[in-house]
Structure 1
Amino acid sequence: MKHTDSRVINIDKLTYAANLDALDAVRENERHYLAQADICDPVALQTLFAKYQPNAVMHLAAESHVDRSISGPADFIATNIVGTYTLLEASRHYWQTLPDSQRKAFRFHHVSTDEVYGDLLPEAPAFIETTPYAPSSPYSASKASSDHLVRAWHRTYNLPVVVTNCSNNYGPWQHQEKLIPLMISQALAGKPLPVYGNGQQQRDWLYVEDHARALHCVLTSGRVGETYNIGGSNEHANIDVVNEICVMLDELAPRTTGSYAEQIAFVTDRPGHDLRYAIDHQKITHELGWRPRESFSSGLRKTVEWALCRHEQP
C-alpha cells in the first residue's frame, strides 16, 4: 500500500490471532478493502473473485502455531489443507474465465514455511528449494500438504503459481503466542520467560518487512512454477534470542533491580521439537536481486521498541 498503487482485497477470517489495530494505517485508504471470510467457504470466495476481479492471489492464510497444532490439529487440517484446496479451485475457475492476456499475467502465490523440510543436524547445509520434505509436526505436515496441492494444480491445470518457503518471521504486530513477542510481554509483566528444553534449538530469523519485500518481488518477478526460499541469514539458538531480548530491555526499560534474564525459566520440551532450521536464499538473491536489509540486532531492536511503545499506551 505504501510503495505501489495496487488495490488490495484483504480476506481474513478474523480468528483469535487477528488484530484490527494492525490495519489502522490503511483503514481509510480506498485501495484497501477488508473482507471477513473463511478461505474454506467457496461461495464467499466466488463472490469476492467476481466482485473484485484480482490479477493475483497471495495465499498467506494459515494456522501457524506449532503448539496449537499438537493440542488441536483439526483446525490446521481444515485451514491449511482444505482451505488451500478451496482457494485453489476458486482461483482456477476464475482464472479460466479471463481473456488470454489476463490469464498469462495472473499469479497464485502460495506462502509456506521452512518447517516442511523437517530437522537439520548442526553441521548440515541449509535448506534449498529441492531439499526433500520431512515435516515433523501437524502444522508442518499440513503446510507440506498445501505446498503439494499448489504444485499439483500447476502441473495438472496449468494454474500459474509461485511458491515461497520462509524462515521464522518476527516484527511488529506478531501475535503474543510466538517466541519473541511472548518473551517481551512476559518480561514486562514480571512473569517467567519459558524456554523449551535447553534452549539450543536453532532458527533463522526473518524481519517481517524484509519478508514482505521478498513476497512482492516473487509475485511480480518470479518464474511461474518455481519455488523460492526466503531467509534472513540470521541463525540463532532460542536461548540466545531470549538473552538478547533481555539485554535490550535492560537498556530500554530497566527493571528496578537486576536483569530480565533472571526471569528465564527452562520448561519441558515440546513433542517432536525440531533442533535446527536454516534457509539458503541464494536463488531469490541471484534471480531476483532480493536480500534481507535487517540484521537480527537491528530488526529485534525495532521490534522491542515498537512493543515498548504499545506497552506504554494507555
Structure 2
Amino acid sequence: MTTVRPRRLRATPALRALVAETRLHPERLVLPLFVREGLTQPHPIASMPGVQQHTLDSLRAAAAEAAEAGVGGVMLFGVPAHRDAVGSAADAADGILNVATAAVAAEVGDALVVQTDLCLDEFTDHGHCGVLDGAGRVDNDATLERYTAMALAQAEAGSALLGLSGMMDGQVAAVRAALDDAGRSDVALLAYSAKYASAFYGPFRDAVDSALTGDRRTYQLDPGNGREGLREAALDVAEGADVVMVKPASHYLDVLAAVAAASPVPVWAYQVSGEYAMVEAAAAHGWLDRERAVTESLVAIHRAGADVVLTYWATEVARWLR
C-alpha cells in the first residue's frame, strides 16, 4: 500500500501559499471607527488598546489611513454630547454621526465604502436600541419610525451602506421602503441579522459611553439558538437586505457557516470588541504571538463563510498583507 503524503504540500512557505484554501484580502476588511462630539483630541479607550474615540479631524485621518492601506470600508459610530429618550441627535442634520459621515465621505468616499451604524443605543439616555413604551419596554414599531428617520439622514449625509444593528422586527423592510420612497434606492442595507446578546460587547459599551442599564435580551438573540439566527437572516433577505451579518464572529462560527451556506446575498461577520480585547490582553502579557493570533482569528472567520469581516485590526492587517 502506498503511503499517502499530504505533508508534501506543507514543505515550504511557497507550497503552503500556493495551496492555501483561505486568504485574507485588505478589501474584505471593514474598520469600525468612533467619533465623539466635543473632543479636542482623540481619547483612548482603555478596554480596547489601540482604539480611540476620534475628533472629526482624527477621524478623517484614520479613514484616509484605512483607504491608503486598501481597506474595503469604514463603519462609523457616533457618540453625542447630549442624549434623550428618543435619540434626537441620531437623525439631526448637525448630529455628530451625520456630520462625521459627510466629512468622511468627502475625504475617502471614492476609495472605500463609507458605512454608518443605524441604531439608537448611542443616542438614547436609557441606552436601549429603541424608544421605550410607558412600561419601560422597547417599542418595536415606534422604534422603526426613528430608524427610518435615521436612514434618510444618513443617506443624505453620504453613507453608502447602512448597518441596521438594532434587531427590531421588520427593520429592513421599513428602512428599505423609506429609502426607496425618497428616491434613495442606491443606498445598500447591511442587516445585523444574527446578532446575539453577548458578553463580548463589553468594551464597545466603553467606546460609545453607553448609558444602558439592564440588558438587550428581549431583542438580541439567545446565545444558545443557532436555528433562530438562520431564520432571522432569511427574514432579512426576504425584506430586502443586500448583506446579512453574524455578530459576534469567533464564538458563532457554526451560525456563520450555516448562514453562509443558505444565504443568496453576501454574509459578513463582526469581530467584536471583546474578541479584540482578549487577544490584545493576552498578547500584552506575552501569552500569544499577537500577529499570528490576529491573522489566525480572521482566517477562521473567513474560512467559516464570511465574505467580509468588520475588525478593529483592519488597517493594521491590511498593511501586513500588502
- State the TM bucket, normalised to the shorter chain: 0.3 to 0.5
TM-score, normalised with respect to structure 1 = 0.38
TM-score, normalised with respect to structure 2 = 0.37
